[in-house]
Amino acid sequence: MAIWVIFAVVTFFVWLFIYGITVFLNGGDGVFRCFAEEIMWHIPGGLKRRTAYIKEIVDGMLLQTVNGEPRLLGTMSGRKQSWSYEEIRDKNLYKECAKDMLGGTLEFWFISIVLPILIGGIITLGICSVVYSIANF
């Protein structure tokens, strides 16, 4: 029974570390809030929610005047390319941008769920073997 508690606690802290670093590097404002939002992006119907998120960001930007012409300034960096707000809006590339910027579903589930469980299991086995070695010394 105690090994499962150790495994759960270790896995939670591994997840908190891995996902916390990701949230910090991407400028998020709360590990649990960001995780809940990201889960909604990676369940069935999630691409529609990711697309709506990108659309909200792009359409929420104010036009700025450049050389007397109104322009939508700003860019988003994806995995494959950088996306200008004007290009996204003018060519209706919200869905493509969402796929590129917000990552794939398989990647999310592996990095956010499977990897912490594997690392937590390995650390728990290490802790248990050390305790076993000390107890049977």
Q: Which long-range contacts does 6-14 make (Cβ < 8 Å, 24+ apart)?
A: 6/124, 6/127, 6/128, 7/120, 7/121, 7/124, 10/120, 10/123, 10/124, 10/127, 11/116, 11/117, 11/119, 11/120, 11/121, 11/124, 12/120, 14/116, 14/119, 14/120, 14/123
pLDDT in tens, 17-67: 999 998 898 888 889 999 999 999 999 989 999 999 999 999 888 878 788
Provide the pLDDT for residue 96.
92
pLDDT at 92 over 90: yes
Provide the pLDDT for residue 1.
65
Provide the pLDDT for residue 120.
92
pTM for this predicted structure: 0.74
pLDDT in tens, 118-134: 999 999 989 888 888 88
pLDDT at 14 over 90: yes
